A and B are shown apart, each in its own frame.
Chain A
Amino acid sequence: MKRTALLGLALLLVPGPLLAQTTGAISGHVRNAATGTGVALARVSVDAGGNYGTSDTSGGYRIRGVQVGWHRVTARLIGFRGEIRDSVLVRSGATTILDFSLNPAPTVLEPIVVRAVDSVLDPFATATTQRITAADLRQLPVSSLDEALALSAGAVGESYRGGRLGQQSFILDGLGVKNQLDASTGPLGVRLPPDILQEASLTTNAFSARYGQALSGLINVVTKDGGEELQGRAAYETDRPLGHGWDYGLDRLLLQVDGPLVGKIGFLAAFDATGRLDADPVSAPASGIPRDPRDREPWLLPHNSGETYDFAGKLTIPLNSRQTLRLLGIRSLEQRLLFDPAYKYDTGFAPGQRVSGTLLSAHLQNTLSLGERAMIVDARLGYFGRDFTRGTLTEEADPKFGGFTGSRFHFVGEDIARSRDTASANAIIPGFIAPQLSQNSPWGVPAFFLGSGSRGDVAWNYFRELRGQLDVTYGAGQNFDLYFGGQYAAQKVETFQRVLGFLPAGDSVPGATTSAFTPHIWSVYTEGQARLNDLAFTVGIRAEHFDGGSSVNTAQVDNGRFGARTTVNPRIAVSTILRGATLVASYGKFSQPPDFQYLVDAAFDDTTRTGRFRRGNPDLGFERATQFEFSLRVRPATHSSLRIGVYGKRLDGMVASVPLGVDPDSTVFALTDYGSVRGLEITAEREMVSGFGGRIIYTLASATATSTNAFQLRQFKVDPITHDTTFPARVEFPLDFDRRHSLIAIVQAQVKDQAGPRIAGVQPFEGLEAAAIIRYSSGLPFSRTNAAGDTIIGAPNSARLPSTSTVDFLIRKPIRALGVGSGIYLDVRNLMNRRNIVAVRRDTGKPGLDEASIQTLASNAYLAHPEPIPYESPRYRPYADLDHNGYIEGQSELLPLFLAAARDFSQPLFVYDSPRLVRLGVEVLF
C-alpha cells in the first residue's frame, strides 16, 4: 500500500501525457535536502530560463511545452543553494521526472547528469508509442526513417496494424504533413535527412485528439535545434569496391552542420544525396538462358537507377525569454528510371518518374504565465507542395557519376499535362512514337519486347497545401490539464493522365483525364487529462471536416456541392499501476478523408487495381476506424522491460474499386467495405548495459474485410447438386496487409574503450559497435485467379505468400585522430542473401510461368510472325542461322528464338525482395 500511495502521490504531481507532439514536460519535486520536506516557490527553469515552473506548497512543479531534446534544468530559491541538472532528456509527449534536493546554502553546484527516466512504468504514457532516436538511426542497419519505423510492432513496411498505405499521418515538428492526393500509392514527397532527426515515434493506438487525418498510425518527428557549438557530420557510403554481384552502384553523401548563427539564433543545415544504378535491386534467380545478360549472375537491372536529393535548413530564433520562433525548410527531389521488362533492350523508351516536395513551416511558441498556472500557445503555419510526373523522358538519362545525372528530368507531353490542356492532349501528343517490336533483343525475333517508341503514358499531379494550426496547452491545476486548438488547411489539387499518347483519343483509347479542385479541411479538438489516485484519465474529442471542393450545378445535390463531411471522434484512455505494472486501456474513433485521387477519373494502367480506366467518385466520405486497446508494461528486471498489448480495430467506409456494370475493365470508387483488425503485440527489451542490449518484437494480427457487394459480380458459388448459382451477399476476406506473424529481434553490442586484445600495440576492437536485426514474417495474402486472369478463384486474398526472413548487420569502428572523431562502418542487408518472395503471379500462384505456358507464349508469337529473317535485317542472329543460308527461317530456326524470348520476357523479377546489399561508410564528426 505504501508503494501504491507513493504512486498515487506521483499521479497527483505528474502531468498527463502530451501525446505525439514536439514537446514534452518536466515534472517533479523540490525538497529541502536537510528536512526532506517540499519547498514552495522554488523556480525551476529550462535552459535560458524562458520556460519555467514554480513549486507549490508540496514542492511539486511542472513545466510544459519543453522542446524535445537535451536540456539544462536549474532549480533556485533564495536561501538555498541552486542546483543545475545537465543533460536532461525530454521526449515527445512524455514527462521527464526530475526531483531536486536543495541545500540551504547559496552555492551553485557543478552540473551533474540526471538519472534516467523510467518511461516504461510511466502511467501517463497512454499511447502505444515506439521511439526512434538519432542514435538508433546511426547504430542500427537502417538508413532512413521509414526503415527504422518498420522495426515497430504492428508495422508491415509502411502499413500499420492492418491499415493500407497512407492511413498514417506524419507530424513534423508538430505540424501535420500529408500527401492527401495519393498517399495510398505514392510517397510523401519530402524526406528528412536522417541527421536532422532528434527523435521520431510511431503511435498506433488512441493517439491524442490533437491529431487527425489518420487511421492506422501517427508518425511524429522532431528535428534538432541548432546547438550552442558548431558541430556536424559528413559521411560517404558506397558499395563500389565490392565488385561483381555486390556492386549496385550506390553512392550516398550526407552532410550536416549546426550551431550558433548570430546572437542566440541557432541554425541547422543538412544535405543527403543518394544515387544508385539499380535503385530497386531484386534477388531474382538467373534465367538459365544463354545470351540473357542476367544469366551469369544476378545482375543489376538496366534503366532502374535512381537519385534522391534532400536539403533541410532550420533556424531557431529566441525572440525573448518566453517566445521562440522556429523556421524549417525541406526540399526533396527523387528521380527514378523505371525498369520495364518490355523495354529491357530499348531502355531509352522505358518510363521515368520525378517526385519533388517542398515543406516550409514556421512555429511560434509562446509560454504564458497566468499566476501559478501556465499556458503554452503554439502557432504554426506551413506550406507543403508535391509535384509528381511519370512518363517518357524527352532525352535519355545520362548518369554523370554512378546513379547521379545532375540534371532535371523532362517528360514528353509534360507541358500539356501541366497546362491540363485536354484539347491538345486528346490529339497525338508530339514526341510520342508508336512502339514497335524490338530488334535489339538477343533473340532478334519480333515478340514481347518493345522499342522504337514508348507506351505513350504521361501522368502528372500537383498537390499543395497551406495549413495553419493553433495548439493551446493549459495547466488548470495539479490534477487537470487541458488542451485545445484547431487547424485549417486550404489545398489545391491538379491532376492529368493520358495513355497511348501516340494515338488520338477515341475508340479504344481513353481520353485524357484532368482535374483541378480546391479541397479544404478543418478540425477542432479539446482534450483533458485528469488524475484521481491511482487512475489517470484522458478524454478528448475531435471534430474533423473535409470538403473535396467538387461542385455541380444541380438541384439533386445539396448546396450544389459534393462530399462535404464532418465527423466527431471521441477518444478516451485510462491508465493505472497494478503491482509494478502499468495497465492502459484506450478507446478512440478516427477518421481521415480519402485520397483525393479517388475523387477524380483516372486513365492509367494500374496493374494493382482493375483496369485502364477508373471513374472517380466526388462524393466519397471519410474512412473511419474505431479502436480499443489494453496494454501492460512491466519491468521484470532493472534493465529489462516487457510490453504486451492487445487491440481490436474496426474499419468503416473503406475505399474500394468496384466494377462498374459488367465491364471488368471499368470501375468506380465507392465506400463499401468494412473490416476488422485484431492483434497482439509483445515487446521485450534489454537496455544497453555492459556492452549488450536487445529487443524482441512479436506481432500476431488478423486483418479482414467484409464486403457486402463489392465483388458480387466476381464472386459466386455453384451448388454441386443443384448447380444453382448463388451470389453471396457478404464476403469476408483478409486485407492486403494481413500479416499474421511477425518477429523482429534486434541485438546490439559495443566494446568498451581500452578493451579487447592488444595486437601490435593496437586494440583493434576498442569501441567497436555492432548491431543485427533478424526478421521473420509470415506471408501476406493474395488473390488467385484463373489462367485468363478474369475470375478470382475462391475469396479475394484467400491464398498466402510464403514467409520471409532477413538478417541485417551493421558494424562500426569509431576512430579518433587529430582531435577529430570519425569512423568507418559496414552495413549489410539480407546478410544470408535469402531469396524472399514478396509477390506471385495470380494465375499460377508461383513467381513465374510454368513451362507449358511459356511454350504456348512462344508458339503464339511464332504463329504471329513466321516470316523469315534475312541476313541484312537487324533481327538476324548468325548463331540461329543453322543452315547458314542467310536466312533464319522455318520452325526449326525461328521457334527456339521465340522460346528464348518468351522465357526471357516472362522471367519473374520484382516478385523477389532485395538481394544482399552491402555498403561501406566513412564518417567524420566535427
Chain B
Amino acid sequence: MTGFSSWAGAGAIVVALAACGHEQPFQNRNAALDSTFGGGPDRQLTFNPAADVRPAWLSDGSGLIYSYEGLSGTVHDRCLAILPQAGGTRRELPCGTSQQSQDSVDAFSEAAPGPDGKLLFTREWSLPGDINPRRGELELSTVSKPGSATTVLTFPYTATNGHLHSGISHIRWLSPTRAIYLASTLTYPRPCSTCEADTVSTGIELVELDLSGATPTIQPIPGTDSASSVDVGATGDEIFFTRNGDSRVYQMDLSSGVSIVAHDFGSSGIARDVAVFGNQLYAVVGGHVDYVVDPLLGPSQLDRGGKLFIADLINGTDSWRIVDSRLFKRPVISPQRDRLVAESFPITVLPGGADTVISRSSDLWLLDLP
C-alpha cells in the first residue's frame, strides 16, 4: 500500500478499532427465580426446613420481607430476606452477623416496611444455652439499605406505666413518623422437669412509638391491656386489636381512646393475628391455642397456629379458609388486596387419631383472595 489510500486505510483501522466493543469477563449466570414452585390458589412460598416467620408486604406490593432461619452450622441465626411477590428466590438482606459472633444466635425479625421506604425491625441475640435473648433492639433503617440501621430503643425496658416490656411484635406504621407495636412478656415454661423450655410470648399492651423528634418516644396506649395482636385501619387513627383468651376483635379510635367490638368469632375460639383491609377482617382463630393464668408466671397464651378466618365487618358474618392439614399464624394482606401470606404449620394426625403433631417450623404460604 502506498499513497493516500494506505494512509486512509490505516485511519480506517483506527476508527474501526475504536468502534469495537470489548469482550467482557464472564458474568454471574445464576438467574433468580421469580415464581412459586407449584401452582394453585394456595401455594407454598418457602421450603426452608427451618422456620420462615413474620411476613410483611412491601408498601408497593412488589415483594415480601420476612425472617428466615439459617441452616448452616450449629447456630441458626434468623435473618431478613425479601421474596418476589409471586415467590421465587429470596434476596437476603445484610444480617449483621459476623465471624466474631459466630457462636451467638442473632435474630432479625418483625420487619415492618413503612412509608418512604422506612423499615422497622427487631434484632435480638443470645448465646448458646441461653433460654432468653440477652438483648433486643428495635431498629430503624430503610428497605434499600437495611444494613445502615439506627437503634430506636432497646428491650427489655420498663414502660412509663411500670410494665416490663420484654418483647416487641406486630409493628405497624400509623403515619410516616408514628408506629404502633405490641409489647409482650416472655415466659419459658417447661412441660416437664427434663423437658426443653419453650418460649411463650404473651402480649401485655399496645405501645405507640413517635419518631418525629430527635429522640424517639413511646407511650403505652390505655385500654389495650392483654392485647395479643394489632393492625391499622383505613386511617392512621384507627386500629384493630385482639386480646389474650378473647374471641373478639376490638376497634379503637386512637384520638378519643374509645374502643368497640368490631367482630366476635364466638365459639370458633380465641382470635389473634388480626389483619384488616377495608371491610374485610382476617384473623387466626381457634386451632392450637391455650390461654392460662399461671399463679407464678401470670397469664400466658401458647399459640401453635389456628384456622384462618375472614369476617365481613358490614354484615358481621365470618367463615374460615380451608387449607388441608395446616394451621396458620400472622396473615398479612397484600396492598392490592388480592393475596394473603401467612406462616403455615403442617399438622400430622397420627394413625388412629391418637395424637396430632404440629411442626415447630413454619413455611410461608400464599393464598389468593376472592
Whether a CB of chain A sits under 8 angstroms from the CB of B14 is yes
Chain A residues whose CB sits within 8 angstroms of the CB of B100 once the complex forms? 428, 434, 502-504
Which residue in chain B gives the minimum CB-CB distance to A304?
B25
Chain B residues whose CB sits within 8 angstroms of the CB of A434 once the complex forms? 97-100
Whether A247 lies near B1 (C-beta < 8 A) is: no
Whether A302 lies near B25 (C-beta < 8 A) is: yes
B160-179, CB < 8 A from A = none
Task: Tell me what chain A mostly uses at the interface: helix, strand, loop, or mixed.
Answer: loop
Among the listed stretches A149-157, A238-246, A515-523, A561-569, which one makes contact with chain B, having 4 or more residues with CB under 8 Å of it?
A238-246
Whether A870 lies near B47 (C-beta < 8 A) is: yes
- Among A241, A504, A815, A920: residue with most chain B CB under 10 A: A815
Whether a CB of chain A sits under 8 angstroms from the CB of B107 is no
- The answer to whether A871 and B37 touch (CB under 8 A), given A236-B14, A244-B23, is yes
Name the distance in Å between B329's Cβ and chain A's nearest Cβ: 19
A847-876, CB < 8 A from B = 865, 867-868, 870-874, 876
Whether B72 lies near A886 (C-beta < 8 A) is: no
Whether A293 lies near B17 (C-beta < 8 A) is: no
Whether a CB of chain B sits under 8 angstroms from the CB of A465 is no
Chain B residues whose CB sits within 8 angstroms of the CB of A817 once the complex forms? 2-4, 6-7
Whether A818 lies near B13 (C-beta < 8 A) is: no
Chain A residues whose CB sits within 8 angstroms of the CB of B90 once the complex forms? 872-874
Which residue in chain B gives the minimum CB-CB distance to A291?
B29
Whether a CB of chain B sits under 8 angstroms from the CB of A822 is yes
Whether a CB of chain B sits under 8 angstroms from the CB of A697 is no
- The answer to whether A874 and B89 touch (CB under 8 A), given A278-B25, A299-B26, is yes
Alpha-carbon gap, A920 to B14, bound state (A): 10
Alpha-carbon gap, A236 to B20, bound state (A): 14
Alpha-carbon gap, A764 to B23, bound state (A): 32
- The answer to whether A815 and B1 touch (CB under 8 A), given A434-B99, A822-B7, A868-B49, is yes
Which residue in chain B gives the minimum CB-CB distance to A820?
B7
Whether B87 lies near A872 (C-beta < 8 A) is: yes
Alpha-carbon gap, A503 to B49, bound state (A): 31
Whether A303 lies near B25 (C-beta < 8 A) is: yes
Name the distance in Å between A296's Cβ and chain B's nearest Cβ: 10
A902-926, CB < 8 A from B = 920, 922
* Interface membership of chain A positions 385-424, coded 1 if the CB is closer than 8 angstroms to chain B and 0 otherwise: 0000000000000000010000000000000000000000
Whether B14 lies near A922 (C-beta < 8 A) is: yes
Alpha-carbon gap, A446 to B71, bound state (A): 11
Which residue in chain A gives the minimum CB-CB distance to B26?
A293
Alpha-carbon gap, A868 to B49, bound state (A): 8
Name the distance in Å between B164's Cβ and chain A's nearest Cβ: 33
Chain B residues whose CB sits within 8 angstroms of the CB of A62 once the complex forms? none
Whether B22 lies near A249 (C-beta < 8 A) is: yes
Name the distance in Å between B89's Cβ and chain A's nearest Cβ: 6
Which of B13, B16, B26 sits near A302, CB closer than 8 Å? B26
Chain A residues whose CB sits within 8 angstroms of the CB of B14 once the complex forms? 236, 922
Which of B3, B16, B88, B97 sits near A241, CB closer than 8 Å? B16
Which of A249, A433, A823, A920 sits near B23, CB closer than 8 Å? A249
Name the distance in Å between B208's Cβ and chain A's nearest Cβ: 35
Whether a CB of chain B sits under 8 angstroms from the CB of A674 is no
B55-93, CB < 8 A from A = 71-72, 83, 87-92
Whether B99 lies near A502 (C-beta < 8 A) is: yes
- The answer to whether A247 and B23 touch (CB under 8 A), given A503-B100, A871-B37, A887-B47, is yes
Chain A residues whose CB sits within 8 angstroms of the CB of B254 once the complex forms? none
Which of A244, A871, A887, A922 sits near B10, CB closer than 8 Å? A922
Whether a CB of chain A sits under 8 angstroms from the CB of B33 is yes
Which residue in chain B gives the minimum CB-CB distance to A874?
B89
Alpha-carbon gap, A294 to B1, bound state (A): 40
Name the distance in Å between A837's Cβ and chain B's nearest Cβ: 24
Whether a CB of chain B sits under 8 angstroms from the CB of A894 is no
Whether a CB of chain B sits under 8 angstroms from the CB of A301 is yes
Which residue in chain A gives the minimum CB-CB distance to B97?
A434
Alpha-carbon gap, A299 to B23, bound state (A): 10
Chain A residues whose CB sits within 8 angstroms of the CB of B91 once the complex forms? 874
* Interface membership of chain A positions 795-815, coded 1 if the CB is closer than 8 angstroms to chain B and 0 otherwise: 000000000000000000101
Whether B10 lies near A293 (C-beta < 8 A) is: no
Alpha-carbon gap, A752 to B90, bound state (A): 69
Which of A277, A294, A503, A815 sits near B24, CB closer than 8 Å? A277
Whether A872 lies near B98 (C-beta < 8 A) is: no
Alpha-carbon gap, A249 to B100, bound state (A): 41
Alpha-carbon gap, A240 to B20, bound state (A): 6
Name the distance in Å between B66's Cβ and chain A's nearest Cβ: 10
Alpha-carbon gap, A77 to B48, bound state (A): 102
Which residue in chain A gives the minimum CB-CB distance to B21?
A240
Number of interface residues of B (CB under 8 A): 45
Whether a CB of chain A sits under 8 angstroms from the CB of B212 is no
Which of A305, A444, A865 sits near B72, CB closer than 8 Å? A865
Which residue in chain B gives the minimum CB-CB distance to A292?
B26
Chain A residues whose CB sits within 8 angstroms of the CB of B350 once the complex forms? none
Whether a CB of chain A sits under 8 angstroms from the CB of B30 is yes
Whether a CB of chain B sits under 8 angstroms from the CB of A877 is yes
Chain A residues whose CB sits within 8 angstroms of the CB of B144 once the complex forms? none
- The answer to whether A442 and B29 touch (CB under 8 A), given A815-B10, A817-B6, A817-B7, is yes
Alpha-carbon gap, A301 to B46, bound state (A): 36
- The answer to whether A868 and B30 touch (CB under 8 A), given A249-B22, A300-B25, is no
Alpha-carbon gap, A402 to B100, bound state (A): 39
- The answer to whether A878 and B23 touch (CB under 8 A), given A817-B6, A872-B88, A872-B89, is no
Name the distance in Å between A66's Cβ and chain B's nearest Cβ: 38
Which of A236, A874, A886 sits near B47, CB closer than 8 Å? A886
* Interface membership of chain A positions 675-686, coded 1 if the CB is closer than 8 angstroms to chain B and 0 otherwise: 000000000000
Whether a CB of chain B sits under 8 angstroms from the CB of A440 is yes
- The answer to whether A815 and B7 touch (CB under 8 A), given A303-B25, A877-B30, is yes
Which residue in chain B gives the minimum CB-CB distance to A884?
B37
Which residue in chain A gives the minimum CB-CB distance to B91?
A874
Name the distance in Å between A763's Cβ and chain B's nearest Cβ: 7
Alpha-carbon gap, A247 to B29, bound state (A): 21
Which residue in chain B gives the minimum CB-CB distance to A824?
B10
Chain A residues whose CB sits within 8 angstroms of the CB of B10 once the complex forms? 815, 822-824, 922
A733-783, CB < 8 A from B = 762-764, 766
Whether a CB of chain B sits under 8 angstroms from the CB of A207 is no
Whether a CB of chain A sits under 8 angstroms from the CB of B45 is yes
Whether a CB of chain A sits under 8 angstroms from the CB of B32 is yes
Whether a CB of chain B sits under 8 angstroms from the CB of A345 is yes
Alpha-carbon gap, A822 to B83, bound state (A): 60
Whether a CB of chain A sits under 8 angstroms from the CB of B336 is no
Chain A residues whose CB sits within 8 angstroms of the CB of B45 once the complex forms? 872
Whether A300 lies near B49 (C-beta < 8 A) is: no
A425-445, CB < 8 A from B = 428, 433-434, 437, 439-442, 444
- The answer to whether A867 and B7 touch (CB under 8 A), given A238-B17, A240-B20, A277-B25, is no
- The answer to whether A277 and B47 touch (CB under 8 A), given A241-B16, A872-B87, is no
Whether B92 lies near A874 (C-beta < 8 A) is: yes
Other A-B contacts than A277-B22, A872-B48, 16 sampled, CB-CB below 8 A, are A238-B20, A240-B17, A247-B22, A277-B24, A345-B28, A434-B99, A439-B92, A762-B2, A817-B3, A818-B4, A870-B47, A870-B48, A871-B37, A872-B45, A922-B10, A922-B17
28 sample A-B contacts, Cβ–Cβ < 8 Å, listed by A number: A240-B21, A240-B22, A249-B22, A277-B24, A300-B25, A301-B25, A345-B28, A433-B94, A440-B28, A762-B2, A813-B1, A817-B4, A818-B7, A822-B7, A822-B10, A823-B10, A870-B47, A871-B37, A872-B46, A872-B47, A872-B88, A872-B89, A874-B89, A878-B33, A886-B38, A887-B49, A922-B14, A922-B17
Q: What residues make up the interface of A, taking CB atoms closer than 8 Å to B? A: 236, 238, 240-241, 243-244, 247, 249, 277-278, 291, 293-294, 299-305, 345, 402, 428, 433-434, 437, 439-442, 444, 446, 502-504, 762-764, 766, 813, 815-818, 820, 822-824, 865, 867-868, 870-874, 876-878, 886-887, 920, 922
Closest 9 CB pairs of A and B: A817-B7, A293-B26, A870-B47, A867-B71, A302-B25, A434-B99, A240-B20, A434-B98, A886-B47
